[in-house]
Structure 1
């Protein structure tokens, strides 16, 4: 599980103050795929970065009893001057998994062809997403963080990605950020809505979607 305890994040810029997380206290259960919903600018990516340990909160803390993945889709998770293969090996070493096995998995899954051995800065955004998605789901985590990644490619590749995500989350949890309501319905069991610095958790994803749509159109 992931425990957010008195979690607060405030940005100050040019004399302005923006509160992304306002003293949030919430426990996200283990083994649940949670769709994180909110308007543009609500702070969803910042929250994901805090859970991943990439961004420090202003105050409060985040506790977990499991291993959390790096966040797929967030800029900076993949080094642009390294090849896809080099990035894969680097992440494997960080998390202590067998490097050659992960490289073989990602090369097969991501379907990047020769680009797998080229610098990531030469990739399209879709190719970066496929690489990051493959690296992330190639490792067994307790919680997967997925931020605004839609698998790109033909229908077979999209279906392959969906099946892999669901297979992984049969034994693990996930926090899945997407503006695609059909995708959230397909991928998630529960939901959370970030609004005005507050985070509202719903055990049923349909309740979360209804709350999000009410706030979005309110």
Structure 2
């Protein structure tokens, strides 16, 4: 279960204050997958980072009683001066995993060759995405966060990504951000719509999509 308790999140600019979550209290129940919807600029990615714990609210609390991933494919936490392997070992230790086991999986999956031992700052965007996705799949979570993951690599590598992710999601929950309603309906049975700082929860994903479509008219 992921519980938001009176969560207030805003960004302050010189001109105004942009409120993302306006003292929101809600629950993402375990055993269900949710589509997180909202118009552009509503704050979906910020909300995802709050759920992941990679960003903190201005006030209120986010409680997790399940093991939650970082947003799938997210590579913002990599240290650019450390090698790919060093970054993988560092993340593995944070999550209490065997660094050598995780490193073997990522090295085999990412297929970036000797670059695994080079500083991440030397990586292309494609190599960074391969490393990040491989690391996301190397550590098993009870809830995966997916924020508009785009296709990585060639068709063969994309097929590998889809297959390993298919196996992962058979026994895990998902919270998914996507502008593709087909993707949302494929992955999710429930929905949440973010609008004007409110997070409206729906037991039926079709109802959430209907609300989202009305907002987009």
Q: Normalising to structure 2: TM-score of the pair?
A: 0.89
Structure 1: runs of 5 or more not aligned: none
Tell me the equivalent position of 2:14: 14
Partner Cα distance (1:122, 1:178) in 2? 30
Tell me the equivalent position of 2:154: 154
Tell me the equivalent position of 1:70: 70
CA 1:183–1:84: 2 relative to 1, 3 Å: farther
> 4+ residue runs of structure 1 moved beyond 4 angstroms?
none
Partner Cα distance (1:206, 1:162) in 2? 24
State whether residues 36 and 194 of structure 2, in contact with CA within 8 Å, keep that contact through their aligned partners in structure 1: yes
1:81 lines up with 2:81 in the alignment: yes
Structure 2: runs of 5 or more not aligned: none
Query: What per-residue deviation string (whole Å, max 9, x for no partner) do you get for residues 87-144 of structure 1?
Result: 1111101111011111111112222233323222222333322221211121111222
Partner Cα distance (1:27, 1:201) in 2? 9
Q: Superposed, which structure 2 residues align to 1:16-165 within 5 Å? A: 16-74=16-74, 76-165=76-165
State whether residues 33 and 169 of structure 1, in contact with CA within 8 Å, keep that contact through their aligned partners in structure 2: no
Partner Cα distance (1:206, 1:120) in 2? 41
| Number of equivalent positions | 217
Partner Cα distance (2:108, 2:132) in 1? 13
SS at match of 1:164: helix
1:5 lines up with 2:5 in the alignment: yes
Shifted more, 19-28 versus 153-162: the winner is 153-162
Shifted more, 12-21 versus 144-153: the winner is 144-153
State whether residues 72 and 129 of structure 1, in contact with CA within 8 Å, keep that contact through their aligned partners in structure 2: no
Partner Cα distance (1:81, 1:98) in 2? 22
Partner Cα distance (1:57, 1:128) in 2? 28
Partner Cα distance (2:101, 2:83) in 1? 17
Shifted more, 61-70 versus 125-134: the winner is 125-134
Shifted more, 149-158 versus 36-45: the winner is 149-158
State whether residues 102 and 135 of structure 2, in contact with CA within 8 Å, keep that contact through their aligned partners in structure 1: yes
Q: CA RMSD in A?
A: 2.0
CA 1:190–1:134: 2 relative to 1, 3 Å: farther
CA 1:138–1:74: 2 relative to 1, 3 Å: closer
